[in-house]
Chains A and B, each alone.
Chain A
Amino acid sequence: MLTLTCPYCGVQAEETELAPGGEAHLKRIGPAGTAEEFEGYLFARKNIKGVHFERWRHAYGCGKWFLAARDTQTMQVFGTYRAQTPHATDDIVGNARQARPEWVPDWPQASEAVVG
């Protein structure tokens, strides 16, 4: 059974205690966005086979939303982090790179941070 550690209350929660919330770090498109951008925000998903960042809620615990990095193919969990974080933390990126050396974060500054 999938087990994630809630970064707020520290409880190691089994998946029956959690509610999944889909892909993380989606950029909300406001009224100024185009129809294509809004469609992308609402429906288009990366649906990664590999390192996946996703939202979870500790539904039957502290009730807070948090984020998790997980491998959708091997079910390995690389770590969890707070929902207010713009990207996965360096240690999580490190864990993911260790399991999948070919994987590169798709946000700008992270790759240098990991090497350092």
Chain B
Amino acid sequence: MPIQRSGRYSIFAIARQAMGQHQGWTRAWASPEPRDRYKVVIVGAGGHGLATAYYLGKNFGITDVAVIEKGWLGGGNTGRNTTIIRSNYLQDPSAAIYDKALKLYENLSQDLNYNVMFSPRGLIMLAQTEHEVRGYKRTVYANTLQGVATEWIEPERVKQLVPIINIEGPRYPVLGGLYQARGGTARHDAVAWGYARACSDMGMHVIQNCEVTGIETANGQVQAVNTARGRIACDKLALVVAGHSSQLAEMAGFRLPIESVPLQAIVSEPIKPCMDVVVMANTVHGYMSQSDKGEMVIGGGTDSYNAFTQRGSWHHIEETVRALIETFPMISRLKMLRQWGGIVDMTGDRSPILSATPVGGIFVNCGWGTGGFKAIPGSGWAMAELVANGRPGPLAAAFGLNRFREGRFVDESVAAGVAH
């Protein structure tokens, strides 16, 4: 299906608008009133929900779609993560879906006609214990077999790539790293905005401030969702709501193997460019990259108990910052500007769930835990396939709910189950 875009963004559009003092720009997406019925209703206008809608339209020609959102577009974990993109996973099904996402990210700005500022600046996961050295070498071998280009690099090369790093410890000297040159970052808000605009241009409805209050089912089949803005009937319902997946599932009458915990991040004052790769240090629970504005973007570990507070525990900041100051001594006098938390949906094997559910017509896409942003395009691609066909395609097949009953885990929990 050809996709008609109103007001395509280009250098000519900028030049044309410049003539009119930039007064002629229209809104990037429409804000329509919800209709009574849609073929597909997607709950959650974060990256994953909007990407699902986009690929439903693009790959399957299904445009009778509404994406409804409790708050504002991309205001949940899509706008709260540290924007890291990589695909260096150990297990084959993970590598497949994350690498699909990475490949889609590489052309996403062109595809959406929206600059998502994808920056493949390279990514290093530091090995700081012998255990990690062996683990990451194993991942490199697995990635080679999967066709995902990663390499093991020695400490000298780490220092060369990241001059500000201290590789000599004292607590955790850098013993090497897992390097993915294709990894990097993107502008998280722009990913949500770009997808929303593309969906709106296809005639889909993106409806904000529309909290789901109930899910109607009859004879084991979904009928409608009740929302703050009225009842919306649907043939198919996709729940793509991360931390609140359990609450939506309860409305539909089933339970999920999910626990919601806060994961937090902090951002420093902007400084001059000092680090042009993403560095993750999983032993000490910290990861850092420098944004285009010059801020150091720092992510830490999750809280280990259930909470929905979107702020997280104070002592995790201390742990993260303490570890990063040892690794990057020059940041010791940086002031931190902002701190926030997002509610991440953790599964037992730390892998996502893309699955049909016990209720006919309801599909879930959740369980991305601490690492959902990097997966957005691949997740949407696989979820669209699942919703359109009613059964998973090759990317989603391993991530069904039945894996917990059958013991077919996609085990990505590594040693500590963090910084995923």
Residues of A within 8 A of B (CB): 1-2, 15-16, 19-20, 22-23, 35-36, 39-40, 42-49, 52, 54, 72-75
Contact = CB atoms under 8 A, between A and B. Distances in A.
Interface string B243-261: 0101100000001111110
Interface string B211-253: 0000000000000000000000000000000001011000000
B305 interface: yes
A49 B255 contact: no
B405 A36 contact: yes
Nearest to B315: A16
A39 B257 CA distance: 9
B305 A45 contact: no
A39 B315 contact: no
A48 B255 contact: no
Contact of B247 (A15, A44, A49): A49
Given A23-B259, A75-B309, 7 more contacts: A39-B404, A45-B246, A45-B255, A47-B247, A47-B256, A47-B306, A49-B260
Contacts of B257: 43-45
Contacts of A2: 305, 313
A44 B314 contact: no
A1 B255 contact: no
Contacts of A1: 313-315
Contacts of A23: 259, 306
A43 B313 contact: no
B228 to A, nearest CB: 17
A48 B250 CA distance: 10
Contacts of A22: 259
A45 B258 contact: yes
Contact of A43 (B304, B308, B309, B404): B404
A49 B305 contact: no
A20 B304 contact: yes
Given A1-B313, A45-B258, A54 B404 contact: no
A45 B405 contact: no
B308 A20 contact: no
A48 B306 contact: yes
A72 B307 contact: yes
Contacts of B360: none
Interface residue SS majority, chain B:
loop
B45 to A, nearest CB: 20
Interface in B288-339: 304-309, 313-315
A82 B257 CA distance: 27
B348 A43 contact: yes
Contacts of B256: 44-45, 47
Contacts of A19: 304
B187 to A, nearest CB: 30
Contacts, number: 63
B392 to A, nearest CB: 19
Nearest to A73: B308
A23 B259 CA distance: 10
Nearest to B402: A39
Nearest to A38: B405
B11 to A, nearest CB: 47
Given A45-B257, A49-B247, A54 B313 contact: no
A20 B305 contact: yes
| Most B CB within 10 A of own CB, among A48, A49, A73 | A49
A75 B304 contact: no
A41 B405 CA distance: 11
Contacts of A49: 244, 246-247, 260, 308
Contacts of A46: 246, 255
A55 B5 CA distance: 54
Interface in B252-273: 255-260
Interface string B384-420: 0000000000000000000011000000000000000
Nearest 4 CB-CB pairings of A with B: A43-B257, A47-B246, A20-B305, A44-B255
Contacts of A43: 257, 348, 404
Contacts of B309: 72-75
Contacts of A75: 307, 309
A22 B261 CA distance: 11
Contacts of A44: 255-257
Contacts of B255: 40, 44-46
B258 A47 contact: yes
